[in-house]
Amino acid sequence: MAAVLDSVRAFFAPNPTFTIGAETPADVVARENLLDRAMGPDRRLKSSEKIRRGRVPAEGLALVARDTAGHVIATVRLWNIEAGISPDGQPIEALLLGPLAVDSAHEGKGIGGALMRAAVTEARGRGHGAILLVGDSAYYERFGFFADKTRHLVMPGPFERSRFLALELKAGWLEGAAGMIVPSGRKLA
């Protein structure tokens, strides 16, 4: 029944006002300007930034939303990390999501949500086990992110525990995960 309803909704949906796709090198300036506007100059002081600095995003997981003219109006990137170690001492590969930002002129149109769902789908399709992030739980819980999965993990710097959230893409992936988040992605050339 749900599938039928979805196809009916899709059939009657108005023309989309944005599209989601992979970020390209030509998008970098627009993305950085968007992040400066959306998050302010302090964005580079965040603990998450320590994990991103000097690294490239996880393969296939730098996404943008574009308006009908092709301008970048939203961005999200995910990064390879080790989310502490398992009870038997093995590093746990996972992803850190962020930053997510939508141009203020386009907020409240479902673009952030669409970008989140696209990122989660792509990460799952690529076989990743879990996604972590630091953000407002009131926003991210709707996508399945909760703080209970990170309770024995720490960021490499100050963070609010109630904002340190995770979504398991494979059941039990973060079971017993403990320790510090460290970057494990490819370094920038």
Ligand X SMILES: CC(C)(COP(=O)(O)OP(=O)(O)OC[C@H]1O[C@@H](n2cnc3c(N)ncnc32)[C@H](O)[C@@H]1OP(=O)(O)O)[C@@H](O)C(=O)NCCC(=O)NCCS
Taking the least distance from each CB to ligand X, the nearer of 34 and 94 is: 34
- Encoded amino acid at 46, one letter: K
Decide whether 112 or 185 has the Cβ nearer to ligand X. 112
**Could you say whether residue 89 binds ligand X (CB under 6 A)?**
no
Nearer to ligand X, 48 or 184 (CB): 48
**Binding of residue 138 to ligand X (CB under 6 A):** yes
Minimum Å gap between C-beta 141 and ligand X is: 9
The residues that bridge with 55 in the sheet, in sequence order, are: 187
The residue type of 23 is E
- CB closer to ligand X out of 145 and 173: 145
How many CB atoms neighbour CB 189 within 10 A?
Answer: 4
The verdict on 139 binding ligand X (CB under 6 A) reads yes
Mapped onto helix, strand or coil, the DSSP state of residue 27 is helix
Residue 155, classified by CB atoms within 10 Å of its CB into exposed (0-12), middle (13-18) or buried (19+), is buried
Question: Which residue in the block uniquely carries the two structure tokens 């296939």?
Answer: 60
Q: Does 96 bind ligand X (CB under 6 A)?
A: no
Q: Which residues contact 108 (CB under 8 A, 6 or more apart)?
A: none
Binding flag, residue 123, ligand X (CB under 6 A)? no
Report the 10 Å Cβ neighbour count for 40. Answer: 9
The contact mask relative to ligand X for 45-74 (x = CB under 6 A, - = no) is ------------------------------
Does residue number 147 form part of the binding site for ligand X (CB under 6 A)? no
On whether the CB atoms of residues 165 and 131 are closer than 8 A, the answer is: no
- The reply on whether position 109 binds ligand X by CB under 6 A is yes
Q: In angstroms, give the least distance from the CB of 127 to ligand X.
A: 26
The token pair that represents 177 in the structure block: 């995960």
For binding to ligand X (CB under 6 A), which residues are involved?
38-39, 100-102, 107-113, 135-136, 138-139
